[in-house]
C-alpha cells in the first residue's frame, strides 16, 4: 500500500480530474455492479450522504434498532437531513421483512412518510451478523410495493459476501445504494465508497461537497483503496476462520460465554465486568473493546495471524483461570 501511495498518479478531485480516484470509483462501481461510485472520507459520511440524497426534510426512514446509522452517527439523520428515524426490532441483527410494513408511515397532513429503508450487512452491533441474499430480495419486494428506496450500510458487505459464498453484486443488486469501507478488514488507512445509479451519485457528489468531503489530491488515499479491492477481499475468509477459532476457544474459558461467530467479530459475554477483562488483557498485549458492561468484542484482521490468535487464546485462558 505504501508503494501504491508513493507511485499514485495525482490530480485534483475537487476539480474532477483525479485519475487515481476515478480508477478507484470505476473499480468499485464495477465490483458492486452499480453504474457509478463516489469516494468519501468515511463510512459515516457515505451513509449520511446516501440518506440525504435519497430523502427530503420531513421524511422518515427505517433502521434496525441497533443500526450504526442510529447509534454511532451523532443523530445525523435529524441534524443533517431533517429526517425522522424510526427503528425496527430484529432477530440477531436480521429484520423480518414484515416489520417494514408495520413500522413505515404513510405521508399525509400529519405523518412523516417513510421513503427510505436502511439495512446493515454485516451488522456491527450484532457481532458481524450476516443477512442472506434471499432476505435482501424480500426487502426489495416490500420496498418496491411501498415505494421506498433501500440504502445498504455495507461497511463490511464484503465480509457478508465471503461468508455467504456469493458475489457481492448479488447483495448489491437488491439495494439502490451501498456504502462500503475500504478501511477495517480491507486494510486501507482511510476511506469508503458509495455506489449507486448515475443520477444518485451526481446528487451524492453535491452532498459530499456540502459536508466538506471534497478532497483534492486524494489519489494518495484512493491508491490504497484499489489495493484493498484487488488484494484484500480474497483474504477475508482467513479473518473469519481465525475469529471462529477464537470464539471456540472462549467456550472453554471459565466466566466466558461467546456468542456465535458468523464473520470476523467475536462477542463474548463475561461474568466479571468487561472493563476488568479489557484492562487486564491490554496489560498482557491483547486488545479488545468492552462493548457493554458484561460483553467484550474482539475483531480479527490482516495483522492478526494464526500465531497472534494462539497468543490471544493463551492470555485469555490464563486470565480466565486467574479470575476463577
Ligand atoms: C465502521 C462502520 C461505519 C462507519 O465507518 P467510519 O469510516 O468509521 O465512519 C458504518 N457502518 C458500520 C456498520 C460500521 O461498522
Q: How far is the CA of 190 from the centre of ligand 1 (A)?
A: 11
Is 25 touching ligand 1 by the criterion CB < 6 Å?
A: no
Q: Which pLDDT tens digit goes with each residue over 206-238?
A: 999 999 999 999 999 999 999 999 999 999 999
Residues in contact with 270: Cβ distance below 8 Å, sequence separation at least 6, in sequence order: 255, 256, 257, 277, 294, 295, 296
Contact indicator for 304, 242 with CB cutoff of 8 Å: yes
**Lookup: cell for 13:** 478531485
Indicate if the alpha-carbon torsion angle 207, 211, 216, 219 is positive or negative.
negative
122 Cα nearest atom in ligand 1:
13
Is 155 touching ligand 1 by the criterion CB < 6 Å?
A: yes
From 41, 44, 63, give the residue whose CB has the most ligand 1 atoms within 8 Å, as the site to mutate: 44
Contact indicator for 213, 41 with CB cutoff of 8 Å: yes
b/e per residue 205-215 (b: at least 16 CB within 10 A): bebbeebebbb
Q: How far is the CA of 187 from the centre of ligand 1 (A)?
A: 14
Task: Specify the pLDDT at position 324.
Answer: 74
Is 213 touching ligand 1 by the criterion CB < 6 Å?
A: no
Low-confidence ranges of the chain (pLDDT < 50): none
Contact indicator for 7, 221 with CB cutoff of 8 Å: no
Alpha helices in 7-92 (DSSP H): 19-32, 43-54, 68-71, 76-79
From 42, 72, 77, 182, give the residue whose CB has the most ligand 1 atoms within 8 Å, as the site to mutate: 72
Residues 160, 97: Cα–Cα separation, whole Å: 19
Q: Which pLDDT tens digit goes with each residue over 54-107?
A: 999 999 999 999 999 999 999 999 999 999 999 999 999 999 999 999 999 999
Decide: helix, strand or coil at residue 196: strand
Which residue owns the Cα nearest ligand 1 atom 2? 155
Q: How far is the CA of 124 from the centre of ligand 1 (A)?
A: 8
Mean pLDDT, all residues of the chain? 97
From 77, 181, 208, give the residue whose CB has the most ligand 1 atoms within 8 Å, as the site to mutate: 181
Is 245 touching ligand 1 by the criterion CB < 6 Å?
A: no
User: What's the alpha-carbon Rg for the chain, to the nearest Å?
Assistant: 20
How are beta strands 84-88 and 149-153 bridged, if at all?
unpaired
How are beta strands 36-40 and 265-270 bridged, if at all?
unpaired
pTM for this prediction: 0.97
191 Cα nearest atom in ligand 1:
7
Q: What is the DSSP string of 81-94?
A: T--EEEEE--BTTB
Which residue owns the Cα nearest ligand 1 atom 4? 43
Q: How far is the CA of 108 from the centre of ligand 1 (A)?
A: 34
Residues in contact with 199: Cβ distance below 8 Å, sequence separation at least 6, in sequence order: none
Amino acid at each position: 500500500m505504501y508503494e501504491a501511495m508513493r507511485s499514485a498518479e495525482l490530480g485534483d478531485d475537487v476539480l474532477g480530474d483525479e485519475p487515481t480516484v476515478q480508477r478507484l470509483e470505476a473499480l468499485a462501481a464495477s465490483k458492486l455492479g452499480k453504474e457509478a461510485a463516489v469516494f468519501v472520507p468515511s463510512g459515516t459520511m457515505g451513509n449520511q450522504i446516501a440518506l440525504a440524497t435519497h430523502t427530503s426534510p420531513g421524511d422518515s426512514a427505517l433502521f434496525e434498532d441497533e443500526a450504526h446509522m442510529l447509534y454511532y452517527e451523532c443523530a445525523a439523520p435529524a441534524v443533517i437531513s431533517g429526517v425522522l428515524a424510526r427503528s425496527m426490532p430484529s432477530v440477531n441483527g436480521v429484520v423480518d421483512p414484515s416489520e417494514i410494513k408495520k413500522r413505515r408511515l404513510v405521508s399525509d397532513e400529519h405523518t412523516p412518510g417513510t421513503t427510505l429503508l436502511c439495512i446493515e450487512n454485516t451488522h456491527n452491533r450484532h457481532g458481524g451478523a450476516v443477512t442472506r441474499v434471499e432476505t435482501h430480495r424480500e426487502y426489495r419486494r416490500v420496498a418496491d410495493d411501498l415505494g421506498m428506496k433501500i440504502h445498504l450500510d455495507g461497511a463490511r458487505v464484503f465480509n457478508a459476501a465471503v461468508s455467504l459464498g456469493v458475489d457481492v453484486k448479488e447483495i448489491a443488486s437488491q439495494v439502490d445504494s451501498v456504502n462500503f469501507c475500504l478501511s477495517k478488514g480491507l486494510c486501507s488507512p482511510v476511506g469508503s465508497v458509495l455506489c449507486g445509479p448515475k443520477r444518485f451519485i451526481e446528487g451524492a457528489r453535491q452532498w459530499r461537497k456540502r459536508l466538506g468531503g471534497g478532497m483534492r489530491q486524494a489519489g494518495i488515499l484512493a491508491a490504497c483503496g484499489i489495493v484493498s479491492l484487488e488484494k484484500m477481499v480474497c483474504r477475508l475468509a482467513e479473518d473469519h476462520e481465525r475469529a471462529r477459532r477464537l470464539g471456540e476457544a472462549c467456550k472453554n474459558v471459565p466466566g466466558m460465554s461467546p456468542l456465535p461467530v458468523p464473520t470476523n467479530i467475536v462477542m463474548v459475554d463475561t461474568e466479571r465486568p468487561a472493563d476488568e477483562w479489557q484492562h487486564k488483557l491490554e496489560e498482557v498485549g491483547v486488545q479488545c473493546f468492552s462493548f457493554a458492561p458484561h460483553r467484550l468484542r474482539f475483531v480479527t484482521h490482516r495483522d492478526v495471524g494464526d500465531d497472534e490468535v494462539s497468543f490471544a487464546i493463551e492470555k485469555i485462558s490464563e486470565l480466565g483461570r486467574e479470575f476463577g
